[in-house]
Amino acid sequence: MNKHEAPIALASLHTSTRHDSGPKHVAGTAEYIDDMIEPAGTVHAYLALSTRAHAEIVSIDYAAVKAALGVIGILTAEDIPGENDVSPSHKHDEPVFATDKVHFWGQPLFAVVAETRDQARRAAHLAKVEYRELQHHTDVRAAQAAGGKLVTEPLKLERGDIEAGLAAAPHRLKGSIAIGGQDHFYLEGHIAMAVPGEDEDVTVFSSTQHPSEVQLMVAQVLAIRHHAVTVNVRRMGGGFGGKETQGNLFAAVAALAAKKWNRACKIRPDRDDDMTATGKRHDFVVDYDVGYDDSGKIHAVDAVYGARAGFSSDLSGPVTDRALFHADNAYWYPAVRVRSEPLYTNTVSNTAFRGFGGPQGMMAAERWIEDIAYALGKDPLEIRRANFYGLDTNNVTPYHQTVEDNIIHRIVDELEASADYQARRAAILSYNQGSPILKKGIALTPVKFGISFTATWYNQAGALVHVYKDGSIHLSHGGTEMGQGLYIKVAQVLADAFGVGLDVVKIMATTTGKVPNTSATAASSGSDLNGMAAYDAARQIKERLTAHAAKLHQVAEAEVQWVQGGIQAGARFVPFAELAASAYLNRVQLSAAGFYQTPKIHWDRATGRGHPFYYFAYGASVSEVTIDTLTGEYTVDRVDILHDVGKSLNPAIDIGQVEGGFIQGMGWLTTEELVWDDKGQLRTKAPSTYKIPLASDVPAVFNVRLAEWSANAEPTIGRSKAVGEPPLMLAMSVVEALSMAVAAVADYGIAPRLDTPVTPERVLMGCERLKREARG
């Protein structure tokens, strides 16, 4: 081969590279924590959970537990050398083990440690617990009625004169919408394995999106310093926010047992216990008062967002904050006041879930848009358009950030045309007239989603890159892989930066020992943050290599060009491996720690003002449905999506996020119903009772496109945009289409106001209500 012919890189940015673990996933060789071969002598822990929703613990008799086959011992609050707390908000309101009181059905009381998991699980049920029951309430309305105790400080966002705006509006409407929660249903449940080391050391394998927080929590319960705890995460079998904080408990228990008995300890709850004892998406009830005019333009919005926070704060503060940050979706409100109520309830503490409160905020916004449309007898799309943020005016959010990158108009116009929305809507109106039992509906809804952690300090990331003498590259960063394709995207960034093939880059498991003080892989921020950090590390190494090559080949640094496969030093091509080898011999450092902090952002919660989001991601969807007015059953017949990911780092991965996010959002809004009984026990706690979408629930026609013309206005990695969360909210169009189909039974004269999830029961009961009201 002519040395001047650079080899072609196997992959680089903006290509549809396959998931790095794909071949291992399909072969069953991708290793999850439960698949690791356990160290000899590994013990197994299992949690005993409360069977009361709210009660004082009078006594616990452990005799039968301790006597059970295989039991080594139990762990209670008294066995915790440090703090009995794993609260991620640091409010010290989330004990590892309950002591005097239980606040929800399923709260951990103690853990059993036994030779096998089966033995520990069986023994965990043998304790005799005496309770003194207290009054409990499990939902938003009951919590409000009981005085509205909050688990954390509420937020208010306000802009303009709300009282004057409402008073002056030609029309007013008030209403409320109940928005259900959602279980994450990651296929791999929570799990942790802790391996004791010398001195205070402990190594924890945790299925977590937030290794640094697990490190902190383990250190906190063991009363040791962070440097003694190493947390490793190769991959999770799904996270979706459910492993942002909820893994803390399991890691803490595994570590406590590992250190107490000096044996490795694994803990993995059964699916029912996982769903009972770990937090979910917050249910909300939003009460609203909206002023608008004859054209459907909104003048003022006043709304209160009550959320089922559960018994402790967890992430309920930032989740309810984000609901308010998305109270506008893509709409400009001339006057607005929105307030949050993160309510104490006797339920498991709710937590992060893809969208993080945003979806609930946006769902409420779409509800009053729909209300206005039915009140005025117009297509809701017309009302949506009338209220979109302007490009140069009418573009300030309720939190006083100016929307500078608005592309919602183009997105919606293009989708309306490509999905043939107007003609199909006309055809559906005509179909419904001649169809007594089946009714169809169609709706187009927009998405605008703010990108950045609203906890500003979280918007930082680190990476560690080593180049070895043979030119192979070792990549570590602080992000975790839960299926979203973060690892491959960051590897693409690095391969692209060095001009090498992807096979040259080895993606390492995430560990707190390589990159410290990381943020949760959450808020859709993984590639934005870690991609830039890796890029920064590559830049440092490249600068050194450039200087080295210039010196070695006696050319000016400006004459050293990075090309595919190596560098061009003047007339000479040097393959990357050769460059690395010569750099080593010349004592050039071939390792670098990269760092990134998101620019521009700031947020003052006390005043409700700032610029919390670096940029916005946009999208829109059109859904068409058919309902059966005798049973409430329905089918989602067609969905068209146009979604903005900026300049995609990996279109195949991004399409996967859009398709998967949409279906997960559709599940949240349709069949995924959480039901607590009157004793406060969650009754939908396994796939037999909690119904996430199936392959046959995917829209029969499902057209998903990325807005290929879009590029991030901000200098993000490759001008891409975050993609993890925003597509989930595309599913709102399914609710709106179901609403239209229900409205058809009363000739579209009454707003259906369906609560979510819109189960077949809610559809049928909605039809019945509208028929009754239409009869007068």
Partner 1 sequence: MTEVSGAIRFILNDEEISLTDVKPDTTLLDWLRLDRRLRGSKEGCAEGDCGACTVLVGRLMGDDIVYDSVTACIRFVGSLHGTHVVTVEHLRGKDGVLHPVQQAMVDHHGSQCGFCTPGFVMSLYGLWMRDPDPSQGAIEKALQGNLCRCTGYAPIIRAGKAISSHGRPEADPLWAERIALKSQIAAINDGRRVEIGEGADRIIVPGSLDDFAAIYEANPDATIVNGSTDVGLWVTKFMRPIGPVIFINHLQELKRIAENDSEVRFYAGVSYSEALPVVAANFPDMGELWNRIAGEQIRNMGTIGGNIANGSPIGDTPPPFIALGAKLHLRRGEHRREIKLEDYFLAYGKQDRQPGEFVESVTIPRLPEGEKFAVYKISKRREEDISALCGAFRVFVNDAGLVGMARVAFGGMAATPKRAKAVEAALVGKPWTQATVDAAMAVFGEDYQPISDMRASADYRLLTARNLLQRFFLETTGHGQRLRREVA
Indicate whether 28 belongs to the interface with partner 1 (CB under 8 A). yes
Residues 663-682 that bind partner 1 (CB under 8 A): 663-664, 671, 673, 675
Residues 234-293 that bind partner 1 (CB under 8 A): 235-240, 270-272
725 labelled catalytic:
yes
271 membership: H or E segment, kind and range: helix 271-277
Q: Which of 631, 679, 708, 774 binds partner 1 (CB under 8 A)?
A: 631
Residues whose CB is less than 8 angstroms from the CB of residue 688 and which lie 6 or more positions away in sequence, other chains included: none
Instruction: Give the active site residue among 725, 736, 768, 773.
Output: 725
Shortest distance, position 224 Cβ to partner 1, whole Å? 32
DSSP strands (E only) in 115-212: 128-133, 156-159, 171-179, 192-196, 202-206
Shortest distance, position 152 Cβ to partner 1, whole Å? 29
| Amino acid symbol at 160 | G
DSSP strands (E only) in 200-280: 202-206, 229-233, 265-267
Task: Pick the closer one to partner 1 by CB: 482 or 490.
Answer: 482
Task: Pick the closer one to partner 1 by CB: 223 or 700.
Answer: 700
Task: Pick the closer one to partner 1 by CB: 158 or 273.
Answer: 273
User: Are 194 and 202 in contact, with CB atoms under 8 Å apart?
Assistant: yes
Taking Cα atoms as reference points, which of 741, 752, 736 lies closest to residue 432? 741
Interacting span for partner 1 (CB under 8 A) from 316-324, 331-339, 572-580, 628-636: 628-636
**Alpha-carbon radius of gyration of the chain:** 27
Shortest distance, position 758 Cβ to partner 1, whole Å? 11
Residues 638-657 that bind partner 1 (CB under 8 A): 652-653, 655-656
| Amino acid symbol at 121 | R
State both tokens at 128. Answer: 């005799």
Task: Pick the closer one to partner 1 by CB: 245 or 664.
Answer: 664
Shortest distance, position 722 Cβ to partner 1, whole Å? 16
| ∠ Cα 556 559 565 (to 5°) | 130
Shortest distance, position 629 Cβ to partner 1, whole Å? 9
Spell out, one character per residue from 686 to 705, where the chain touches partner 1: x when CB under 8 A holds, - when not.
Answer: xxxx-xxxxxxxx-x-x-x-
Residues whose CB is less than 8 angstroms from the CB of residue 555 and which lie 6 or more positions away in sequence, other chains included: 549, 569, 570
Indicate whether 34 belongs to the interface with partner 1 (CB under 8 A). yes
Taking Cα atoms as reference points, which of 239, 242, 220, 219 lies closest to residue 229? 219
Residues 526-585 that bind partner 1 (CB under 8 A): none
Task: Pick the closer one to partner 1 by CB: 394 or 684.
Answer: 684
CA 447 to chain centre: 16
Spell out, one character per residue from 459 to 498, where the chain touches partner 1: x when CB under 8 A holds, - when not.
Answer: -----------------------xxxx-------------
Residues 95-154 that bind partner 1 (CB under 8 A): 118, 121-122, 125
| ∠ Cα 687 481 449 (to 5°) | 80
Residues 745-774 that bind partner 1 (CB under 8 A): 759-761, 764-765, 768
Shortest distance, position 696 Cβ to partner 1, whole Å? 4
Residues 385-444 that bind partner 1 (CB under 8 A): 435-438
Spell out, one character per residue from 184 to 223, where the chain touches partner 1: x when CB under 8 A holds, - when not.
Answer: xxxxxx----------------------------------
Q: What number of other Cβ atoms are within 10 A of residue 133's Cβ?
A: 11
Residues whose CB is less than 8 angstroms from the CB of residue 245 and which lie 6 or more positions away in sequence, other chains included: 88, 210, 213, 279, 314, 315, 351, 352, 520
Shortest distance, position 260 Cβ to partner 1, whole Å? 24
Report which DSSP code applies to 388: B
Q: Could you give the CA distance from residue 678 to residue 675 in angstroms, rounded to a whole number? A: 10
Taking Cα atoms as reference points, which of 456, 722, 391 lies closest to residue 600? 456
Phi/psi for 598 (5° steps) reads -65, 130
State both tokens at 188. Answer: 């791999």
Indicate whether 42 belongs to the interface with partner 1 (CB under 8 A). no
> Catalytic positions, please?
725
